[in-house]
């Protein structure tokens, strides 16, 4: 999996100026007292000043991760590789380990599960069979938009994801939480790292401390 920052607009000063323009005031440099203003905006959910900053990512992750993240729509734009148009050999995600089902929750995972040689062999065989069948259908002249239906959810996909700093804070406050699926959490943590680097003051107050 991979999260690459492609572009960004604005700084913490952008947030400050977007808020201060209400009083017909702006400034050229970020000052220590501006952090108090950002903290106030975040605490009281004055989100619009944060929406004047934005980031654009290119993300590579399995389909099952993408389908969780694409549920976040407000303040975000998503464009993904389409298997209707491309037919190059798919790449498949393989986890480092298989996690167990938690006893006291309907979601998430706990610990690891040893599948054994036979099950691991079946996994490899089934995955390889899906890829072979897909390539066979393409070679037979089947349209990519139909051939793709035999591909597994573990197939890797890529997308551009653009949005406001505030929108990505909403994503990360949910998806960086400890009870989120690990693979999705890994992507969200990488997004959070970039947001923290580019907007260190704003991000400190937008992100929930439990994440």
170 catalytically annotated: no
Q: How far apart, in whole angstroms, are the C-alpha atoms of residue 24 and residue 130?
A: 61
The token pair that represents 103 in the structure block: 């006893």
Q: Which of 83, 84, 99, 175 is catalytic?
A: 175
CA angle 78, 84, 87 (to 5 degrees): 110
According to the 3-state scheme, what is the secondary structure of the chain?
CEEEEEEEECCHHHHHHHHHHHHCCCCCCCCCCHHHHHHHHHHCCCCHHHHHCEEEEEEEEEHHHHHHHCCCCCCEEEEECCCCCCCCCCCECCCCCEEECCCCCCCCCEEEECCHHHHHHHHHHHHHHHHHHHHHHHHCCCCHHHHHHHCCCCEEEEEEEEEEHHHHHHHHHHHCCCCCCHHHHHHHHHHHHHHHHHCHHHHHHHCCCCC
Catalytic residues: 175
């Amino acid at each position: 999996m991979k999260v690459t920052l492609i572009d960004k607009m604005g700084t913490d000063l952008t947030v400050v100026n977007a808020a201060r323009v209400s009083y017909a005031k702006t400034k050229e440099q970020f000052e220590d007292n501006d952090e108090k203003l950002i903290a106030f905006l975040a605490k009281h959910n004055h989100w619009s000043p944060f929406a004047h900053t934005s980031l654009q990512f290119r993300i590579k992750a399995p389909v099952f991760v993408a389908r969780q993240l694409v549920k976040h729509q407000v303040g975000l734009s998503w464009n993904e590789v389409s298997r209707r148009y491309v037919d190059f050999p798919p790449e498949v995600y393989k986890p480092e380990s298989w996690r167990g089902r938690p006893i006291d929750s309907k979601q998430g995972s706990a610990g690891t599960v040893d599948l054994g040689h036979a099950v691991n062999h079946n996994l490899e065989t089934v995955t390889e069979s899906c890829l072979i069948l897909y390539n066979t259908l393409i070679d037979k002249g089947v349209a990519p938009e139909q051939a793709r239906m035999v591909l597994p959810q573990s197939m890797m996909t890529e997308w551009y994801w653009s949005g406001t700093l505030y929108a990505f804070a909403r994503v990360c406050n949910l998806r960086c939480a400890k009870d989120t699926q690990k693979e999705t959490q890994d992507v969200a943590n990488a997004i959070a790292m970039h947001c923290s680097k580019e907007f260190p003051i704003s991000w400190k107050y937008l992100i929930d401390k439990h994440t």
